[in-house]
Amino acid sequence: MKSPSNRRLAAILAADVAGYSRLTASDEEGTVAALRAIRREVVEPLTDQHGGRIANTAGDSFLIEFRSAVDALRAALSIQDLLQVWNADAGPDQAILLRIGLNVGDVISNGDDILGDGVNVAARLEALAEPGGITASEAVVGYARKSIAADFIPMGPQRVKNIPEPVGAFRVQKSGHTPQKAARAKVLRARLATGACLLAAAAAGAVLWLSPWQPNPDQAVVARMAFPLPDLPSVAVLPLADATGETGNAMLADGFSEDLITDLSRISGLFVISGNSSFAYQDRQISTAQFAEEMGVRYVVDGSLRRTGTAFRANIRLTDTSSGQLVWAERFDGPLENIFSVQNRIALDIAKALDLPLDNEERTGIEQVDTATIAAREAFQQGWALYARFNEADNLAAIPHFEQAVSLDPEYGRAWAFLAMAHLRPHIFLHWNAFAGQSSQMHIGLFYKYLKETSKHEAPLVHVIRAMVRLNLNDWGQGGGGNRGIGEARQEAAKAIALQPSDPEAHLVMGWALIAAGEPQEGLAFVRAAMRLDPKHPSHYTLFEAAAHFAMADYTQASALLLAELERTPGAKELMPLAASVLALQGSQRDARVMVERWHSGNSAASLPAAVKDYFFILRWTGASQHLNRRLTDGLLLAALPPGTTVASLRAELSLTDASTQRQAARALGLFGAAAAPAVPELTALLDSPSAFVRKEAAIALGSIGAPAEPALPALDALAGSGLAGKRAALAAERIRSSLAGEEL
């Protein structure tokens, strides 16, 4: 005999607590207790009253089966009405509101649980409901419209996951009644005084809720945007709330968020705020509208992730903050091992919701799973959280986590890339002292080892790393880092941007290469693009922005940028050498000296000249712009001069008979450039000194003064020839004539 089928037609009610993660974060025990009481005193009695059966619960959600759509809708309306009463004495941040979705469709029994497309559609409609509201399918409305007096507000066809045809959806509420607003009004009234004050406040409350000018909390105001909206559709991701409340699960939620940002940043038709800026808002209570305004974007992705044993649930939504309307929302449930493939699908779904076409390379990059090992992903996230703080101690602390990630999954290309970068950073930012001496050699060896491993997996970051190597680690003394190195760096940066168009580091390294090549205006555009992609960018972004202005001899703007960033980030030592040089070249020698002392705090004053002379700046100019390297060093040496050193005091020292004093005075005068013009007569006289070393320093100083040293040309030409002083005299004369012609050597 054939066994009866376990498939049947049913009306399904899917309910979920709105803002559950926020409620539990504020008061986990109280929220759980209240939810249990709501089930016992509200949901279960009304389910029985309307002939339903609770098929499944999962902490903050209910799945209820009814025999008819009319029963299901009546139960839903009753539940929301009773919850308004329940929440009357709750504060606005403690009210427990349900979102409810209703559908009629096929279900399949699985013990006491039910499965099937009918259930899936109900769950998707629940995600579209407002807190305290009901969303129903067209099928439910068709059955219930004649039997229930309610307002059925059409939402239009809704595309829901795994259902090929759009589902007609309606918002349902009692006639002339908005459940969510009524619940909030009761909360407000319960907190007001009695008598006339109560009536006046209630009237004011009615105006508040009914006035058409009342702002939508999810609607951003363009006038308040911190930045102009990009030409492309723009999006920022709020880190997903951890709905589980445990440290390990928080790492999983953070990793999910960071991977989603990375996937979205691969889409060329989309402008995506970086993870560094998004995670600055972690654990902050902020509306999607305010977040959009501070990031300067139109769309915001937010949601929650819960891990329960070997399963997970993710609730994700995409809001158009220009209108406050929900563009797309989805709930994803499944075994934990599928979590990484799900996050890739979210990026594809968002692209589809925004009608963004993807080429094969973009789609392949998004669909590729970096790692399928959850423990490796969690270890990586712990490292990334430290690495993203951009300081020496946390950078060092991040390394063991990255090492653990690659040991758990040797094919984890992204983890190899960040492991390599963690070892590279200290060789770029030389003030990270823990990497000095033998330790430095060990770490640079490990960097090259991990770079080789990274290259096997072709993570997009590998191109950024290769560009940095060409720009900073090549053998500059032997010409290996010259124009050829710059060209290769630009090629690598272009590849990185092509693979991940919203990666700020890729844009920054392109700006770095262009500035080094003598194209500061073009480089500045890329640096500013990096800053826009990462509004909460680390301080070294300002370093490159200021370097571009330095290259254009705009010392006023360069110093303003550096000093403002140092005020925001007082420990940003990587900015101080350039700041000192710029201040000195600007003529603010006292401020420049203070900056050098701040940079080398704890060192003796006598050691400062040697320290600044040996400084290797992160950016090395090439080709026709090589003179900028000398200009930077001259500015640093000028900044390191003893306090009170002036052109007048140095002129007096030139008149002394001691050759050593004359040499040092001439060398210092050369640092002042054109400002040392009053000393030209004394320096010219020293070209006849019996000391070749004095003659050499006098010639170099005259060349540094430039056009104002024109009267010294006959004496320089007479001295030009062989020998140390003669060669320097010829170079000085060439520099003066080039300066007179408007050129710079």
User: What pLDDT was estimated at residue 248?
Assistant: 63
CATH number at residue 337: 3.40.50.10070
CB 220 within 8 A of CB 292: yes
Same domain, 580 and 602: yes
Residue 226 lies in a domain: yes
The parent domain of residue 605 ranges over: 538-644
Using only C-alpha atoms, the chain has a radius of gyration, in whole angstroms, of 34
**Orientation angle between helical segments 461-468 and 413-428, nearest 10 degrees:** 20
User: What pLDDT was estimated at residue 2?
Assistant: 43
Report pTM: 0.71
Distance CA 172, CA 130 (A): 11
Residue 745 lies in a domain: no
Which of 168, 186, 204 is the last residue before a domain boundary? 186
Burial class (CB in 10 A: 0-12, 13-18, 19+), 691: middle
Which of 351, 367, 383 is the last residue before a domain boundary? 367
CA-closest candidate to residue 21, choices 301, 187, 250: 250
Same domain, 316 and 171: no
User: What pLDDT was estimated at residue 208?
Assistant: 31
Distance CA 316, CA 319 (A): 10
Same domain, 164 and 56: yes
Instruction: Work out the number of other CB atoms within 10 angstroms of the CB of residue 111.
Output: 7
- Under 8 Å CB-to-CB from 29, ≥6 apart: which residues? none
Which of 367, 397, 417 is the last residue before a domain boundary? 367
Cα–Cα–Cα angle for 511, 515, 519, rounded to 5 degrees: 105
Task: Specify the 3-state DSSP secondary structure of 609.
Answer: helix
Same domain, 41 and 159: yes
For the chain, which residues score pLDDT lower than 50? 1-4, 177-215, 476-481
Same domain, 18 and 63: yes
Same domain, 165 and 295: no
Domain total in the chain: 4
Same domain, 630 and 679: no
Same domain, 657 and 629: no
CATH number at residue 662: 1.25.10.10
User: What pLDDT was estimated at residue 473?
Assistant: 74
CA-closest candidate to residue 26, choices 190, 241, 205: 241
User: What pLDDT was estimated at residue 743?
Assistant: 64
Structure tokens at 158: 């809704």
CB 447 within 8 A of CB 439: no
Same domain, 623 and 698: no
Same domain, 39 and 122: yes
The model's pLDDT over 486-529, given as tens digits with 9 standing for 90+, comes to 999 999 999 999 999 999 999 999 999 999 999 999 999 999 99
Distance CA 92, CA 181 (A): 12
User: What pLDDT was estimated at residue 474?
Assistant: 62
Task: Specify the 3-state DSSP secondary structure of 739.
Answer: helix
Terminal alpha carbon distance of the chain: 99
Instruction: Work out the number of other CB atoms within 10 angstroms of the CB of residue 101.
Output: 27
CATH number at residue 604: 1.25.40
Distance CA 674, CA 5 (A): 96
Phi-psi region of 602 (alpha: psi -120 to 50; beta: other; left: phi over 0): left
CA-closest candidate to residue 329, choices 125, 152, 119, 155: 125
